Amino acid sequence: MKRAMCAKLCALLLFLSACGTQTENNSATIFAMDTQMELTAYGSGADEAVRAATQEINRLDALLSAQREGSFIYQLNHAQGEPVSRDTDVGETLLLPVIQLCEDTGGALDITVYPAVEAWGFPSGSYRVPEAAELDALREKVDYREVSVDVAEGSSTTVTLPQNMSIDLGAVGKGYAADRVVELWKDMGVTSGLLNLGGNVQCLGGKPDGSDWTVAIRHPEDQGRYLATVTGRDMAVVTSGAYQRNFELDGVIYHHILDPATCMPADSGLTSVTIVAESGLLADGLSTAVYVMGPDRAGELWRERRDFDMVLYTEDGTLWYTPGLAGRFAPAEGLTAQVLE
């Protein structure tokens, strides 16, 4: 599991060296949401900003983790069909938007895929390949439309889940956490900051010297190389790839992004998906969904929505990017890229 986390951490390399100025800053490296995270804030309130961000991420981890006993999600997954309530706004700010995203992606994103994620052994590290009959039974337990979310005044959330079903916010939790930290930092008056939550990169404003951030996307087949860079400000750059968490059995590599329709690792012809959007939650949810959907369905989704950009890398080595990235996207040396229109 540790190795996979490191791989995830290296998913995106940040080019920070060009910052140049001696702006006051503070950074912290923390471990939360099953991954290593780096938080950096610039300006006079940087120390307090990093402290508050650490606290917020730890709070969300304790609330949303599927594995931590006592978390809202853990309780829900063990409630045997009974409703579970918490004094929290995650119903409104996270669960309802994510269920909508499950719908918008035709179920390629499905937060109820957790029984299958567990059956493959990803949370525990006790990896195994479920047999066909077990996969048939697992498919019966996956359907985001069965999750009922009630949002009451005063920021309380009640969720009901049918017995035998369980949910996992692993595909969206880091993106959501990054959005919350950015909101918090804006409220605190921070104008420049950078989050790398295990490969989910999110920038607040531009660099402290006023220029844009440059984020490099890791090459999925080689940790030491990158595919391309994206520059910008106030953006989330989130990558999903099979290399981030997987195991090998009898010469076959099985990875952690499951196609909810089969409960098998997605096999859509993509090896890396990067979503660039203002919202970390949207970018995180879509990176997982698009990995499942494959290039053709992803292109259709992009043409319908146009509220995100993406960089796709296929098994046959084709690099695609959407036109919204024109002028701020550069393929690595030796690679050529095609515009997806």
240 forms part of the interface with ligand AMP (CB under 6 A): yes
- Number of residues engaging ligand AMP in binding (CB under 6 A): 20
Rounded to a whole number of angstroms, the minimum distance from the CB of residue 272 to ligand AMP is 11
Q: Between residue 162 and residue 181, which ones bind Mg ion under the rule CB under 5 A?
A: 171
Q: How many Å apart are CA 115 and CA 197, to the nearest integer?
A: 25
34 forms part of the interface with ligand AMP (CB under 6 A): no
Q: Between residue 159 and residue 188, which ones bind ligand AMP under the rule CB under 6 A?
A: 168, 170-171
Q: Which of 256, 275, 282, 298 binds ligand AMP (CB under 6 A)?
A: 256
Please identify, among the stretches 89-97, 133-141, 178-186, 286-294, the one whose residues bind ligand AMP according to the rule CB under 6 A. 286-294
Q: How many Å apart are CA 312 and CA 317, to the nearest integer?
A: 10
CA distances from 14 to 23, 117, 280 (A): 18, 30, 17
Residue reference for tokens 């844009």:
212
Yes or no: say if 28 and 50 are a contact pair by the CB < 8 Å rule. Answer: yes
Closest CB to ligand AMP among residues 66, 190: 66
Q: Which of 284, 310, 325, 340 binds Mg ion (CB under 5 A)?
A: 284
Other CB atoms within a 10 A radius of the CB of residue 68 amount to 13
Q: Between residue 289 and residue 318, which ones bind ligand AMP under the rule CB under 6 A?
A: 292
Closest CA to 125 of 2, 244, 253, 260: 2
258 forms part of the interface with ligand AMP (CB under 6 A): yes
Under DSSP, the state recorded for 131 is -
Closest CB to Mg ion among residues 208, 285: 285
Rounded to a whole number of angstroms, the minimum distance from the CB of residue 184 to ligand AMP is 22
Q: How many Å apart are CA 192 and CA 210, to the nearest integer?
A: 9
Alpha helices (runs of H) in the chain, residue ranges in sequence order: 2-9, 46-64, 72-77, 90, 96-104, 114-119, 132-139, 173-187, 280-305
Closest CB to ligand AMP among residues 115, 260: 260
Q: How many helices (H) and strands (E) does the chain have?
A: 9, 20
Q: Which does 147 bind (CB under 5 to 8 A by kind): Mg ion, ligand AMP, none?
A: none
Q: Which does 312 bind (CB under 5 to 8 A by kind): Mg ion, ligand AMP, none?
A: none
CA 64 from centre of chain: 14
In the chain, what is the straight-line distance between the N-terminal and C-terminal CA atoms, in Å?
38
Yes or no: say if 169 and 153 are a contact pair by the CB < 8 Å rule. Answer: no
Closest CA to 192 of 336, 48, 23: 23
Q: Helix (H, G, I), strand (E, B), or coil: what is residue 320?
A: strand
Q: Which of 61, 287, 295, 325 binds Mg ion (CB under 5 A)?
A: 287
281 forms part of the interface with ligand AMP (CB under 6 A): no
34 forms part of the interface with Mg ion (CB under 5 A): no
Q: Which of 90, 117, 283, 337 binds ligand AMP (CB under 6 A)?
A: 117
Closest CB to Mg ion among residues 123, 162: 123
Q: Which of 32, 60, 90, 109 binds ligand AMP (CB under 6 A)?
A: 109
Rounded to a whole number of angstroms, the minimum distance from the CB of residue 341 to ligand AMP is 25
Q: Which of 113, 204, 263, 319 binds ligand AMP (CB under 6 A)?
A: 113
Chain residue whose CB lies nearest ligand AMP: 170
3-state helix, strand, coil in the chain (%, to 5): 35, 30, 35
Q: How many Å apart are CA 329 and CA 311, to the nearest integer?
A: 9
Rounded to a whole number of angstroms, the minimum distance from the CB of residue 114 to ligand AMP is 7
Q: Which two tokens stand for residue 334?
A: 């030796």
Binding site for ligand AMP (CB under 6 A): 109-111, 113, 117, 122, 168, 170-171, 240, 244-245, 256-258, 260, 284, 287-288, 292
